[in-house]
Structure 1
Amino acid sequence: MTKWTVDQSHSSVGFEVKHMMVSKVKGQFESYTADVEAADLTDLTTASISFKFDVASISTRSEDRDNHLRSADFFDVENNPTIDFVSTSIAKDGENFKVTGDLTIKDVTKSVTFDVEFGGKGTNPWGVAVYGFEAEAKINREEFGLTWNAALETGGVLVGKDIKIKVELELNPAA
């Protein structure tokens, strides 16, 4: 098995959620680590994947909202500093992959499946192999203890239940 590192300058871990039932708020985690091992990245079924997201690094381009998300109303960063994902199975799905694993948010662990698209393989100007992937999953935030909300006078709620998690990765062989 080969160890792979995430090129963080060409990767992102983001999310989106409905806001006021009419638009979406997008955000990302600025700080995260990943452990990826695989015999062959063109066949992810050989891989072992784990991620750790630093929740304090959350950014939605609104300092007040970010601080609220870090608070006990949502992630409770003081007691739950990371969100963790560890793959448990990986299956081929046509040209793509289904990566299933345990996602832990606020001490709640649930099985989540990411739809993963292999973007391709290249070689950077320094002769290093580069592999690209895009992954997406949808979770219900309330199932992970993220239940804060506010009713709107016009009906509906301030924050939607469904969260789309979007990961874009560029991987290189570990030095």
Structure 2
Amino acid sequence: MTDIATRTWDGMTIPVAGTYLLDQAHKRIGFLSRHMMVSPVRGEFAEATAQIFVAEDPLLSSVTATIASASITTGSLDRDTHLKSADFLDVERYPTLEYRSTGIKWQGNEDPIFQWARLRSHRLGGRGRSPIVPPQSDGTPGRFVLTGELMVKGITRAVDLEVNFGGARTDPYGQNIFGFSATAEINREDYGLLWNVMLESGGVLVGKTVQIEIAGEAIHQA
């Protein structure tokens, strides 16, 4: 275990280099889809592991994750049973979902608000006014795009995660940790999850778009 939980990179506070594991007590691997085109239904996978390698150059870092498909839960036993069946995840044949990263990009200077501010400043400057630009972040939290591949039911597709880095520190037990959240959007039909029912009023029973919602902490390994 290192004595220092953080370091500075490009003006941003980040975790020390090394291998981190997903904290099982502080994680949520969630998703959201629509029922009958009108109401959101949330669920999550209760069992998942992940290994995060933070490189000396953070843009060379990598992530691998394994999710137990049978651990899906949405708060409805009947719905969960259907989601585990061959109509959807087919958990007996495909016990895990897998994710591995292929790259990482820092998005701090690509936020649309800064692009808008730079454009507006240029226009205002042309009329002799002082440019007004929002202040940059102090570098503690930050935004990244994690490019990668998600495998569901043996089918692999590219999925990019929008990652918000929440900060790094030493916890009360002396462990170096960092927090994060991430989102993405996929089309379930890309993974062979085709089951649906057409509604007489138009539309379908189960939405095709699935929003992924992830949050957690990772613990540095000695």
Shorter-chain TM-score: what band?
A: over 0.9
Work out the CA distance in 1 between the residues paired with 2:96 and 2:145: 23
**1:75 aligned partner:** 89
Residue 8 of structure 1 aligns to a residue in which SS? strand
**Separation in 2, partners of 1:60, 1:44:** 35
Q: CA deviation at 1:39?
A: 2.5
In the other structure, the counterpart of 2:148 is: 101
* Higher radius of gyration, 1 or 2: 2
Deviation at 1:134, TM superposition (A): 0.5
Matched, 1:143 2:211: no
- Kept in 2, the 8 Å contact 1:119–1:133? The answer is yes
Residue in 2 aligned with 1:20? 36
Question: Is 1:132 aligned to residue 179 of structure 2?
Answer: yes
TM-score (norm 2): 0.75
Which residue number in structure 2 is paired with residue 7 of structure 1? 23
Amino acid at match of 1:69: L
Instruction: Supply the distance in 1 between the matched residues of 2:216 and 2:26 (Cα, whole angstroms).
Output: 7
SS at match of 2:160: strand
Determine the C-alpha separation between the residues in 2 that align with 1:167 and 1:21: 23
Letter of the aligned partner of 1:136 in structure 2?
A: T
Shift of 1:36: 1.2
Q: How far apart in 1 are the matches of 2:49 and 2:220?
A: 15
SS in structure 1 at match of 2:70 = helix
Deviation at residue 127 of structure 1 after TM alignment: 2.0
Q: 1:174 maps to which residue?
A: 221
5+ residue gaps in structure 1? none
Contact persistence 1:44–1:97 (CA under 8 A): no
3-state SS in 2 of match to 1:7: strand
The partner residue of 1:49 within 45, 63, 72 is: 63
Unmatched segments (≥5 aa) in structure 2: 1-16, 109-141
Structure-1 residue corresponding to 2:169 = 122
| More strand per residue | 1
> What is the one-letter code of the residue matched to 1:28?
E
Aligned equivalent of 2:157: 110
Which amino acid in the other structure matches residue 209 of structure 2?
D
For 2:203 and 2:189, how far apart are their aligned partners in 1?
Answer: 16
**Structure 2 residue corresponding to 1:33, chosen from 49, 56, 63:** 49
Q: CA deviation at 1:154?
A: 2.1
Q: Distance in 2 between matches of 1:139 and 1:11?
A: 21
Work out whether 1:159 is the aligned partner of 2:175.
no
**In the TM superposition, what is the alpha-carbon distance from 1:174 to its structure 2 partner?**
1.6
Residue identity opposite 1:14 in structure 2: G
User: Which runs of structure 1 show a deviation greater than 6 angstroms over 4 or more consecutive aligned residues?
Assistant: none
Normalised TM-score (structure 1): 0.94
User: What is the root-mean-square deviation of aligned Cα atoms in Å?
Assistant: 1.3
| CA deviation after TM superposition for structure 1 residue 156, in Å | 1.2
Alpha-carbon separation, structure 2, partners of 1:7 and 1:52:
14
Mean CA deviation greater in 3-12 or 121-130: 121-130
